Amino acid sequence: MKELRLMKGNEALAEAAIRAGVDAFYGYPITPQSEIMEYLMAQKTQERTGMVTLQAESEVSSINMVYGAAGTGKKVMTSSSSPGISLMQEGISYIAGAELPCLIVDVVRGGPGLGTIQPSQADYFQATKGGGHGDYHLIVLAPSSVQEMYDFVKLSFDLAFKYRNPAMILSDGLIGQVMEKVEISEQIPRTTSFDPSWTITGKTPDRERNIITSLELDSAVMEKRNEKLQAKYQKMQETEVRYEEVQCEDADYIFVAYGSSARICLKAVQIARQKGIKVGLLRPITLFPFPTKPIAELSKRVKGFLAVELSAGQMIEDVKLAVNGRTKAEHFGRMGGVVHTPGEVLEALEQKIIGGK
């Protein structure tokens, strides 16, 4: 029998971390994700599995603790929310540059600045377009249910280690706080063997010393490093795109939405169908790599796309690039922690796409 529990998104993610055999969590409190560390502390992770849970003095510190431990091959993670993720960007750039696997969770709240503690999707750019300095990408997964908050922890680590690249779970205050039924998986033991080809676990006589660094003063060599990174991102684009299609087969119009926006669009699809409007939903699960190809395919036959986001319009840029002018592509969003209703979403579709020029 599968184990079922009623949990908050944040708690489910924390339990998933323990069960995925994570070695360390380094974090700093910020609403709306503080339950993650609170849950881990309450679970006495050190006793349960040997997992380290440590509250750092800042997000700057926690991401650098992640960087240190990730270089040793351990499974490490942190979580934060928007202003904290901004502080982590320095470290994230170093981790991407040094090609280290790890998991960063962003339970997004409304900004800019101190903003609000209510849900938002306005961190899309900083999650998918680099965020810190230099040319790099994270693998970005967007859960839209508590179950996915749970499932994406293991998936993130699998992908992060496969590509030696930091992964991010881009959630928001709604998915983090909502309570839903979750199917809990078996405990995976923590790993005890580490890839000797790159991890810093102490230089043994049988191998050269290993060095974790993103520094290279020779520009020609640095360019090669960048090219290698870009080839890696290209490979992700070819093989790791994940998305869900709902009633897209016969659709005239398509909502593109992820996370909590996708949940709201699902309801809007139902209402629209009752009214006889053929609408479907394309839900990106990976935001990087983005489902460019499936959107491009659909754009050859549908009459328009509406990107629905809790932002002023960020993902819409990727949708437009995929559509490439073949059909209409518009944006509808609310900002600053306000969550749209299904009715509003449908109204926007009717005005901007169906009735729009």
- Interface stretch with another protein, choices 122-130, 170-178, 196-204, 330-338 (CB under 8 A): 196-204
Least separation in angstroms between residue 98's CB and another protein is 8
205 binds another protein (CB under 8 A): yes
DSSP-based three-state secondary structure for 54? strand
- Interface stretch with another protein, choices 164-172, 203-211, 222-230, 285-293 (CB under 8 A): 203-211
Q: How many angstroms separate the CA atoms of 307 and 313, rounded?
A: 8
Q: Which is nearer to another protein, 75 or 334 (CB)?
A: 75
Selected from 204, 220, 249, 325, the binder of another protein by CB under 8 A is 204
Q: What are phi and psi of 146, to 5 degrees?
A: -65, -35
Selected from 209, 219, 300, 357, the binder of another protein by CB under 8 A is 209
Q: How many angstroms separate the CA atoms of 49 and 18, rounded?
A: 7
Least separation in angstroms between residue 85's CB and another protein is 16
Pick from 165, 143, 160, 144: nearest CA to 152: 143
219-239 helix and 146-163 helix, angle to the nearest 10 degrees? 140
226 binds another protein (CB under 8 A): no
What is 154-195 written as a DSSP string? HHHHHHHHHHT-EEEEEEEHHHHH-EEEEEEPPPPPPP----
Binding-site residue total for another protein (CB under 8 A)?
39
Strands 243-246 and 24-27, bridge-based pairing: unpaired
- Interface stretch with another protein, choices 134-142, 158-166, 195-203, 232-240 (CB under 8 A): 195-203
Least separation in angstroms between residue 130's CB and another protein is 16
Sole residue written with tokens 């549908």:
302
Least separation in angstroms between residue 257's CB and another protein is 36
Q: Which is nearer to another protein, 57 or 186 (CB)?
A: 57
Least separation in angstroms between residue 201's CB and another protein is 7
- Is the peptide bond between 112 and the residue preceding it cis, with omega within 30 degrees of 0? yes
Q: Which is nearer to another protein, 199 or 292 (CB)?
A: 199
- Interface stretch with another protein, choices 119-127, 166-174, 211-219, 243-251 (CB under 8 A): 211-219
What is 237-302 written as a DSSP string? HHH---EEEES-TT-SEEEE--HHHHHHHHHHHHHHHHTT--EEEEEESEEES--HHHHHHHHTT-
Residues 6+ apart with CB under 8 A from 132: 89, 90, 91, 92, 93, 96
Q: How many angstroms separate the CA atoms of 265 and 274, rounded?
A: 14
Least separation in angstroms between residue 97's CB and another protein is 10
Site string for another protein, 50-89 (x = CB under 8 A): --x-x-xxx-xxx-xxxxxxxxx-x-x-------------
DSSP-based three-state secondary structure for 226? helix
Degrees to nearest 5, angle at CA 22 with 134 and 198:
50
Least separation in angstroms between residue 24's CB and another protein is 5
91 binds another protein (CB under 8 A): yes
Amino acid at 20: A
Q: Which is nearer to another protein, 41 or 56 (CB)?
A: 56
Selected from 214, 226, 292, 327, the binder of another protein by CB under 8 A is 214
Site string for another protein, 17-46 (x = CB under 8 A): ------xx-x--------------------
Which residues of this protein are in contact with another protein, per CB under 8 A?
23-24, 26, 52, 54, 56-58, 60-62, 64-72, 74, 76, 90-91, 94, 98, 200-205, 209-215
